[in-house]
């Protein structure tokens, strides 16, 4: 009886040691960008004196961008408890994306900036150098930055930041 148990254990040990190991993914098995869960590049906002905290609110990667449901809305709830920077009236603010070539996420092909103040939303003009001037009226302003990706990789991203103009 003990001999049968030992033989059974030996066979199980041999069979277990010969089990096929999972294969490492090869180049042909790589996950597509759309399946990778890669986030969009970080958006840097501010000027030479001040860096603004920018929050990625929502994003969608899809070969069919029409299925994306990225909403343009006041980012106030996403910015609660986050640092809000004081800046001067009319001060120039610039945008740029992390240009690290090691990142797989593309750079946007188009962008739009929205200002939220007192229940109103206004599209703000950004110049070709990705800069805009803050309002000349004091107060808190929330901004939404909408990026569209329409190159080899397609998608949308929405970022938010806030400024207190003094």
Q: Report the CATH number that the domain containing residue 93 is assigned in CATH.
A: 2.60.40
Q: What pTM, to 2 d.p., does this model score?
A: 0.79
Return the H-helix or E-strand segment holding 103.
none
Give a yes or no: residue 31 inside a domain.
Answer: no
Give a yes or no: residue 103 inside a domain.
Answer: yes
Give a yes or no: residue 25 inside a domain.
Answer: no
Give a yes or no: residue 119 inside a domain.
Answer: yes
Return the H-helix or E-strand segment holding 116.
strand 110-117
Q: How many domains does the chain fold into?
A: 1
Tokens of 1: 């009886």
Give a yes or no: residue 23 inside a domain.
Answer: no
d(CA 46, CA 1): 79
- Residue 61: is it exposed, middle or buried by C-beta count within 10 angstroms (0-12/13-18/19+)? buried
pLDDT digit string (tens) for the chain, length 166 residues: 565 554 555 554 555 555 555 555 555 556 788 888 899 999 999 988 889 999 999 999 999 999 999 999 999 999 999 989 999 999 999 999 998 988 989 999 999 999 999 999 999 999 989 999 999 999 999 999 999 999 999 999 999 999 999 9
Predicted local distance difference test score (pLDDT) of residue 21: 52
Taking 3-state DSSP, the helix, strand and coil percentages for the chain, each rounded to the nearest 5, stand at 20, 35, 45
Query: What range does the domain containing 145 cover?
Result: 40-165
Return the H-helix or E-strand segment holding 96.
strand 92-97
Q: Do 131 and 48 contact (CB within 8 A), yes or no? A: no
d(CA 164, CA 62): 35
Give a yes or no: residue 74 inside a domain.
Answer: yes
Give a yes or no: residue 19 inside a domain.
Answer: no
Give a yes or no: residue 47 inside a domain.
Answer: yes
């Amino acid at each position: 009886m003990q001999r049968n148990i030992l033989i059974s254990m030996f066979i199980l040990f041999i069979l277990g040691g010969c089990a096929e190991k999972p294969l490492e993914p090869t180049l042909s098995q790589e996950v597509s960008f759309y399946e990778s869960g890669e986030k969009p590049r970080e958006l840097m906002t501010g000027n030479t004196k001040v860096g603004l905290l920018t929050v990625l609110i929502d994003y969608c990667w899809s070969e069919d961008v029409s299925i994306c449901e990225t909403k343009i809305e006041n980012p106030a709830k996403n910015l609660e408890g986050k640092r809000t920077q004081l800046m001067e009236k009319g001060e120039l603010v610039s945008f740029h994306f992390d240009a690290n070539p090691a990142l797989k996420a593309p750079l946007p092909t188009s962008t739009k900036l929205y200002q939220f103040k007192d229940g109103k939303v206004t599209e703000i003009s950004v110049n070709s150098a990705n800069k805009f001037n803050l309002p000349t009226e004091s107060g808190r302003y929330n901004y939404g930055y909408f990026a569209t990706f329409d190159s080899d990789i397609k998608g949308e991203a929405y970022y938010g930041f806030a400024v207190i103009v003094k």
